[in-house]
Homo-oligomer: A and B are copies of this chain.
Amino acid sequence: MKASRVLIDHGSGGLATKELIEKIFLKRLSNRYLSRLEDSAVLDGKSSGRIALTTDSYVVDPIFFPGGDIGSLSVHGTINDLAMQGARPVALTLGLILEEGLLMEELEQVATSIASASLDAGVPVVTADTKVVPCGKADKIFINTSGIGMVPEGISLGADRARPGDVVLVSGFIGDHGAAIMTSRANLSFSSGINSDSAPLHRLVERLLDRCPGNEMRLFRDPTRGGLATVLNEIAQASRVRIAIDEGAIPVRAEVISICELLGLDPLYLANEGKLVTVAARECADQALEAMKETEEGKHAAIIGEIMEVKKAPGPRVTIKTGIGGTRIVSMLAGEPLPRIC
């Protein structure tokens, strides 16, 4: 591979594609499924339980940012989408759209990052596809990762399962990913020191389901695009409840608050890529909190609010008790404060 950039030929499906795949991807991601280079991967062993299936395309800009890159993000994000349904992630697919002219070195770096995230999470990439479009028809690299997982017997989760009296928890500091992307894009003259929180959450979910095994965990959601506020609104709508949040209880880093004040944004709407929101039955809330705090990814977890009955108009909603004692309604994100956050 003498070319130091991706060429249109690399997307031909012929020799150049084969070379690209072998030298960049198979070298790093090799496993018995991917190495066969068939049209699809056939997984060994019989499956048990129900199958969970998810897909996500990643178009984050810039492709490298503090705390991660588009490669690790695409692995973590898809694993998390499976985990939020209580599924144990089994395998990932990798669909690459490369812009002609992309530096081969950057592609290698992304491939290394995918391999490392996949290995670390214990979820292999079993099948892949590569396309190349002419310069100016994409932006460096777009990645789609789809994934399958198995939902163990007896798991019943859903955004519609929150009940009055239940407790709302978040697994740690919110807004880190959004703030990290924003500051790396804005070319701020200072280093914010904020890293993306990009991380896989399947082990945290498994631990919570082990600790509260009787369907006390009502649902899991990862507040990505649209942030905590949007996810809470989705839960309120689906469960037909009011969610009452205590602003002071939400874990937010001081640096993130500063950046938000500087740029006129609200941490409640910033994307997260390694946090989950969960609703737990009150009798299991403390155990759930404790279970999270024992882990690296959940050590800053907190109880942030509770589920209330909807008694009158305006119906399902999210309210927040502010630091100065008032209460306001938190709406869903309407527009896009920050495009291409993931």
Contact = CB atoms under 8 A, between A and B. Distances in A.
A46 B148 CA distance: 14
A121 interface: no
A81 B37 CA distance: 12
A167 B95 CA distance: 33
Contact of A53 (B14, B41, B57, B224): B41
A198 interface: no
A332 B14 CA distance: 6
A146 B39 contact: no
Given A11-B339, A55-B95, A142-B97, A44 B40 contact: no
Interface residues of A, number: 84
Contact of A9 (B139, B158, B335): B335
Nearest to A47: B47
Interface SS of chain A: helix, strand, loop or mixed? mixed
Interface stretch (A84-92, A242-250, A283-291, A312-320): A84-92
A125 to B, nearest CB: 10
What number of copies of this chain does the assembly contain?
Answer: 2
B84 A40 contact: yes
Interface in A138-196: 138-139, 142, 144, 146-149, 151, 158-159
Contact of A38 (B16, B36, B85, B94): B85
A128 to B, nearest CB: 7
Interface stretch (A129-137, A206-214, A301-309): A129-137
Contacts of A139: 133, 137-138
16 contacts: A11-B339, A14-B335, A37-B234, A39-B80, A39-B81, A39-B85, A40-B147, A42-B50, A43-B51, A43-B52, A56-B129, A57-B129, A59-B133, A95-B144, A138-B142, A144-B144
Q: Closest 10 CB pairs between A and B?
A: A13-B225, A14-B333, A40-B54, A55-B93, A12-B336, A146-B146, A144-B144, A13-B226, A39-B81, A57-B95
Given A39-B222, A55-B146, 8 more contacts: A11-B336, A43-B51, A54-B93, A55-B127, A57-B129, A57-B131, A57-B144, A144-B146
